[in-house]
Amino acid sequence: MADFPRVTFGIIVLNGEPFICYNLRALYPYAHQIIVVEGATQGAKNVATSGGHSHDTTLDTLRQFKMEEDPDNKLIIITKDGFWTEKDEMSQAYAERATGDYLWQVDVDEFYQPEDIEAVLKMLRDDSSITAVSFKTITFWGAPDYIVDGWYLRRGAEVYHRLFKWGAGYTYVTHRPPTVHNADGQDMRNIHWVTADEMEQHGIRMYHYSLLLPKQVIEKCDYYSHAEWAKRQGALDWVHHAYLSLNRPYHVHNIEEYPSWLTRYTGTHPPQILAMWQTITQENSGFDIRRRNDIERLLNSISYKAGRSIIMLADMPTMKIKTLKQKIKSRLAGLTPNIIKKLLKLLKNG
């Protein structure tokens, strides 16, 4: 990987088991650095220790990886006693220590196919003017065989801003959405941004296992119910009535205000996810795996298939409007402000 740009992978994590070691193994061959910031924000007190740390073995796993699987000294572990103010502070902690040419943010349950990571690195090597890259996600639900889709995701939430050019004087501005400015204060997505749609055209997506395991989903939704920025008071109610019991089959995404649905997934998975799944589904693994019988009944139901199709069609007008806006924006992108003013004047005067 010597001819590829140097990439610093930045991870913030709380209760990252069982994903954390598999994620590190997936990133390690391509990394200049992997900087992991461990701990809880104020809104995550219910799912953390009193000292602000993971209540599972995440810290032990990180330290063990450092000792046993880090021959090139790529892994940097950052933690502290007490709670982080917010995720902005955690992300800024890894950004301040980044020495790569690019900063690639990765959540602990986000994975990529190895060949896709290599394709991205080749793209950056061949075009050094690129300043930001975004990805669309495939979101897995309950097991690697099922995915969730819905209006919320299709209206923009499936896009994740993850990769940014990095250098002296650059700053990580905010976590929501991830935003990086260069030394002149320019937003990296306002210079040469490779959009999620462009990456999808190359067949590259992020594999997001955010709704895979009950423990993970419960803790995530507990955080959402207490975090000031989210204020999702019904998040834990959704866990019990939509995720664990499937009593709301058309609201299976955790942003339940919008219709959503489940479908089967028959594609491939990143190798480290397959290794993780094989381990945690063994008897006495200690991990709670969601049952599948109710998912299978739902997906085999003719009425569910029909209802799912109707909900998809109902969102088509919105999708067409979104596509039209994107086309207009693309067409206007090459026009100078003076030309735009002249066009508006012509339209006004008829």
Last residue of a domain, one of 209, 236, 265: 209
Q: How many domains does the chain have?
A: 2
The reply to whether 37 falls in a domain is: yes
Same domain, 42 and 163: yes
Residue ranges of the chain whose pLDDT lies below 70: 1-2, 316-350
User: 50 in a domain, yes or no?
Assistant: yes
Same domain membership, residue 336 and residue 189: no
Q: Would you say residue 218 lies in a domain? A: no
Same domain as 328, residue 197: no
72 within some domain: yes
334 in a domain, yes or no? yes
**What CATH code is carried by the domain that includes residue 107?**
3.90.550
The residue out of 182, 209, 236 marking a domain boundary is 209
Same domain? 188 vs 327: no
Boundary residue ending a domain (209, 238, 257): 209
Give the 3-state DSSP-derived string for the chain, with helices as H, strands as E and coil as C. CCCCCCEEEEEEECCCCCCHHHHHHHHHHHCCEEEEEECCEHHHHHHECCCCCECCCHHHHHHHHHHHCCCCCCEEEECCCCCECCHHHHHHHHHHCCCCCEEEECCCCEECCHHHHHHHHHHHHHCCCCCEEEEEEEEEECCCCEEEEEHHHHHHHCEEEEEEECCCCCEEEEECCEEEECCCCCEHHHCCEECHHHHHHCCCCEEEEEECCHHHHHHHHHHHHHCCCCCCCCHHHHHHHHHCCCCCCCCCCCCCCCCEEEEECCCCCCHHHHHHHHHHCCCCCCCCCCCCHHHHHHHCCHHHHHHHHHHHHHCHHHHHHHHHHHHHHHHHHCCCHHHHHHHHHHHHHC
The pLDDT value recorded for residue 350 is 44
Whether residue 267 is contained in a domain is answered as no
Q: Do 329 and 190 share a structural domain?
A: no
What pLDDT is attached to residue 232?
80
Whole-number pLDDT of residue 314: 86
Q: Are residues 328 and 181 in the same domain?
A: no
Q: Is residue 107 part of a domain?
A: yes
Residues 199 and 336 in one domain: no
pLDDT of res. 344: 54
Range of the domain at 335: 318-345
Residue 237 falls within a domain, yes or no?
no
